[in-house]
Amino acid sequence: MSKDVSPHLITCIVQRGYADMVVDAAMEAGAEGATIYYGRGTGVRQKLGLPGSLIKPQKEIILIITRQEQTEDVFKAVTKAAKLEKKAQGFAFLHQLDQAVGFL
């Protein structure tokens, strides 16, 4: 991998049922693919007491590797598709990767 290319990893955690919509938006914005897996959230539900019971613990976690020039567009598309500007919809974060293998 050349030194001038800095791939990024976008991680997005959303409510169950949203992952396909998020991946579709990411691919329309230039991502080449994604990995989806399932998880269970803890913490916020317990702290909120009764209102927390309305938050489903089941989550979908989406991993998307992007080239540096694609990252901003894909991140914006993911944010919009997952409705992350609204509370309790999920969250996304970005990592710069030092090395990646198998990523074209």
Residue 75 pLDDT greater than 80, yes or no: yes
CB 57 within 8 A of CB 71: no
Domain ranges, ordered by start, for the chain: 12-58+84-90
Would you place residue 2 in the very low, low, confident or very high pLDDT band (cuts 50, 70, 90)?
A: very low
Q: What is the DSSP string of the chain?
A: --TT---EEEEEEEETT-HHHHHHHHHHTT----EEEEEE--SHHHHH-GGGGGS--EEEEEEEEE-TTTHHHHHHHHHHHTTTTSTTSEEEEEEE-S--SS--
Q: What is the mean pLDDT of the chain?
A: 86
CB 11 within 8 A of CB 92: yes
Residue that is written with structure tokens 């989806």 in the block: 36
Could you report the per-residue pLDDT of 3-51, keeping only the tens digit for each?
456 899 999 999 899 999 999 999 999 999 999 999 987 766 556 666 5
The residue ranking higher by pLDDT, 60 or 57, is 60
